[in-house]
Amino acid sequence: MSENSTSWFHCARCGSLFPAPLGPGIERVCDQCGQNPSLGVHTIKKKRVNRTIESGSRDEAPRTGSKRKRRKKKSGAPLVSLIIGWFAIMGLIILAANQLFKPSDLRTGEWVSPQAAQRLTPEDHDLLVQYGDDCQEVLGNLISQTTPEGISGFVHDGLDTFSDIVRFYRLNPGTQITDTRLVLEDISVIHLPEGPAIEGRWKADDGRLIDVVFRRQDGEWLVDWHHFARYSEYPWPLFLAGDGPDEAEFRLLVRRRLARQVLEDEGPEGLSLAFHEPRFGRPDDPGPPSPVFELDWDSDVARMLMAGFEKSGEGRRPFRALLPKPEPDGDMMRVRVVIRRIGDAEEERRFEIIEVRAFHWIQTDDAGFATVHTGPEDSR
């Protein structure tokens, strides 16, 4: 081929110069890289995927532009990875924080746990969701009060309860709970004769378990204070020691003596009982047992107590309550009883159950259980 019919061409792919024939329609190949030296239409189409790269190469020579593109990729990729990694780490931190430090149900308004929801009717579930925050606010206000006047403003039948509040805290100064944080343990609905009530249990910072019943009055949810305080008309230990009135109402835990003890000591004709004073916030640690109470099976008090023991032994609680018994001892049962002390001298002192008013501590006249019991043989 003559010198006039050839010329030097620049390869846009590898950047080298190579000789090739002149003239239109000739397909030239670089003798260094073996490719078409022109970027051509295919290269332009490929650039359209990334508009930024394409606009940046228009004012640059092909080789220089290629180097610039490589430099951008090398410098941009670590930055993008760093940003993505930072967002991923922050997301994990936020997720972990939500799991570890999730506010209690008291503050989120998510009152009903999945376990509790399975036990509730739709109506009871809606009641908790609608009024749970109101109950929390009332309880928070109650425990922040230090005077009977302040306490009575957040309790059910506050005016009628005021005198009981004054007398109780004068005789039991260590039973108030103030300056603490309460965390919800469980919550449910009970059904009193006058309407539904809300029953909840809160754990205090000092480990005490606070059992609260809220009742509605004039459109407000208020604390049943007698239940909350485990109110008795006189301190039980002092009454047993001969102090105070000869007859009073008490909120106590009662336990049947073991069947072996009953058979050995009293025989099959009597019912043997012991009472324990509940300790505020410590259902797992009641007070010591009282002297033994011995009852005839044929007495109304014995039949009523045995009816309660039967229901309690079946795992049932008054007013269709769904929460489990807070007392770990399955033989113990809550009662409201009227007890009389007879005799002044310690060696002559004895006690008599005058009336069993209820199988719970709520301030209502309903006993909570039916009291039909057919005889001793059904309870052994």
pLDDT one-digit tens code per residue, 179-236: 678 888 889 999 999 999 999 999 988 889 999 999 999 999 999 999 999 999 999 9
pLDDT category at 101 given cuts 50, 70, 90 is very low
Q: From residue 14, how far is each of 35, 66, 72, 73, 247 by CA, in Å?
A: 9, 10, 20, 20, 111
Q: Residue 37 above 90 pLDDT?
A: no
CB 58 within 8 A of CB 44: no
Q: Per mean pLDDT, which of 19-28, 51-60, 287-296 is the most reliable?
A: 287-296
Q: Residue 340 above 70 pLDDT?
A: yes
Instruction: Give the closest residue to 188 by CA, choosing from 107, 129, 104.
Output: 129
> Which of 152-166, 270-284, 365-379 has the lowest average pLDDT?
365-379
Answering whether pTM is above 0.75, one says no
What's the mean per-residue pLDDT of the chain? 77
pLDDT one-digit tens code per residue, 43-92: 333 333 222 223 233 333 333 344 444 444 445 566 767 777 766 776 66
Task: Provide the CATH topology of domain 108-229.
Answer: Nuclear Transport Factor 2; Chain: A, (3.10.450)
Q: Residue 35 above 60 pLDDT?
A: yes
What's the confidence (pLDDT) of residue 120? 87
Position 255, amino acid: R
pLDDT category at 276 given cuts 50, 70, 90 is very high
CA distance 278 to 376: 28
Q: Residue 31 above 50 pLDDT?
A: yes
pLDDT category at 359 given cuts 50, 70, 90 is very high
What's the confidence (pLDDT) of residue 100? 38
What's the confidence (pLDDT) of residue 257? 76
Average pLDDT over residues 270-284: 91
CA distance 313 to 369: 13
Residue 288, both tokens: 């010591």
What's the confidence (pLDDT) of residue 275? 97
pLDDT category at 115 given cuts 50, 70, 90 is low
**Domain assignments of the chain as residue spans, ordered by start:** 3-68, 108-229, 236-378
What's the confidence (pLDDT) of residue 104? 36
